[in-house]
Amino acid sequence: MTSTRETENTKSAIAPMLHLSPRLRHRVYLHTELLARYEDGNYAVLNLNGGTQVPSRFGYFPEEKFGFYGLLLSCRTIHAEASALLYRHNRFIIRYWEKQSLAPLRNLTPSSISNLTYLKIVLNQASCHHKGPKVWHEDSMDICDDERVRNTGGGDGDHRVLDAKLCNTPLEVGQPEAKALYAEWHSTVEYLSSYISSESLELSIVCDVHHGDVEAAMRAVEPMGLLPALRNCHVRLSRKFIPQLYQIAQDTVLQARRISKPPLPASLPCATALAQPEKAPLSELQVESRLLALPRELRFRILEYTDLITPWKEVDWSRYPSNRAKYMALHPVCLNTEGLPCRPSMHHGCRFFNCWAATEQQQRSTVGCFCRVRHSAASSTCICWTPPSALFLVCHSLFNDAQVVFFSGNRFVVHDYRGDIPYKTPEYPALIPRDVGEGRSATSKYHSDRLAASVFLREVVPPQMLQEIHFLELVFPPYSHIGWPEEGHPALADWAETLCWAREKMNLRGLTLRIVMADSPNGSSAPPGRGNITADQVEEILSAYRRIISPLAVLALFKAGDEKGGDENGLRKFHARIAWPWVWNFDYKAKIDEYGWTGLKDYLGERRQLLIEEAERSVMGYRYQEFHDGGRGHQWISVWEEKFYCGF
Higher pLDDT pick, 374 / 15: 374
Confidence category of residue 368, pLDDT binned at 50, 70, 90: confident
Average pLDDT, stretch 191-199?
91
Residue 405 near residue 274, CB atoms below 8 Å: no
Tell me, what's the pLDDT at 429? Answer: 40
Confidence category of residue 434, pLDDT binned at 50, 70, 90: very low
Asked if residue 60 has pLDDT above 50, the reply is no
Tell me, what's the pLDDT at 349? Answer: 80
Tell me, what's the pLDDT at 629? Answer: 57
Rounded alpha-carbon distances, angstroms, from residue 595 to 598, 600, 605: 7, 5, 13
* CA 20/CA 420 separation, integer angstroms: 64
Asked if residue 269 has pLDDT above 50, the reply is no
Rounded alpha-carbon distances, angstroms, from residue 558 to 433, 546, 627: 46, 22, 15
Tell me, what's the pLDDT at 648? Answer: 43
Q: What secondary structure letter does DSSP report for 210?
A: -
User: How many residues would you count in the chain?
Assistant: 648
Asked if residue 508 has pLDDT above 70, the reply is yes
Of the given ranges (23-27, 59-63, 299-303, 321-325), which has the lowest mean pLDDT? 59-63
Judged by DSSP in three states, 508 sits in: helix
Average pLDDT, stretch 512-530?
80
* CA 496/CA 554 separation, integer angstroms: 9
Tell me, what's the pLDDT at 442? Answer: 41
Of the given ranges (122-136, 237-251, 389-403, 515-529), which has the lowest mean pLDDT? 122-136
Of the given ranges (316-325, 413-422, 576-585), which has the lowest mean pLDDT? 316-325
Neighbours of 386 (CB within 10 A): 15
Confidence category of residue 85, pLDDT binned at 50, 70, 90: confident
Looking at every residue in the chain, the average pLDDT score rounds to 76
Q: What secondary structure letter does DSSP report for 45?
A: E
* CA 169/CA 183 separation, integer angstroms: 19
Tell me, what's the pLDDT at 156? Answer: 39
Confidence category of residue 176, pLDDT binned at 50, 70, 90: confident
Among 40-49, 108-117, 132-141, the range of highest mean pLDDT? 108-117
Tell me, what's the pLDDT at 270? Answer: 44
Tell me, what's the pLDDT at 517? Answer: 93
Higher pLDDT pick, 84 / 189: 189
